[in-house]
Amino acid sequence: QVRLVESGGGLVQAGGSLRLSCAASAGTFNRFAMGWFRQAPGKEREFVAAISWSSSTSYYADSVKGRFTISRENAKNTVFLQMNSLKPEDTAVYYCAADWKLSRTGDYDYWGQGTQVTISS
């Protein structure tokens, strides 16, 4: 079982930045692909970004490309999502997820509880 705990969410103005963190309990963290997803009120959960276990490959949703950066520190069992130039439409609960396979879809085995990100206009 893998426990994921997100942090770093909050309220910022449009144009601002936030850095989300996701700490994993698993000792095998460095073998997992990690993803970030988000769900806005009244909308389905959507893919944001994902990174391979080695950091050699990363994927981004078109809506965040050039503004968000996913990274990881395997020695600290942590994955990050640096979010810049934030827009009101980025407002959502952000979830991190872990799986053995890198994917843009939501079929990850392990999920965190989420952290709220609110962008004011």
Q: Which of 83, 90, 94, 79 is nearest to 120 (CA)?
A: 90
Q: What percent of the chain shows pLDDT beyond 70? A: 100
Q: Which two tokens stand for residue 36?
A: 């970030």
Alpha-carbon span 6 to 111, nearest angstrom = 10
Q: Quick: pLDDT tens for 9-56.
A: 999 999 999 999 999 997 788 889 999 999 999 999 999 999 999 999
Average pLDDT over residues 81-103: 97
Q: Which two tokens stand for residue 82?
A: 């640096």
Alpha-carbon span 67 to 71, nearest angstrom = 13
Query: For residue 61, how many other CB atoms are within 10 A of its CB?
Result: 16
Average pLDDT over residues 82-95: 98
Say which residues have a Cβ less than 8 Å from residue 28's Cβ, sequence separation at least 6: none
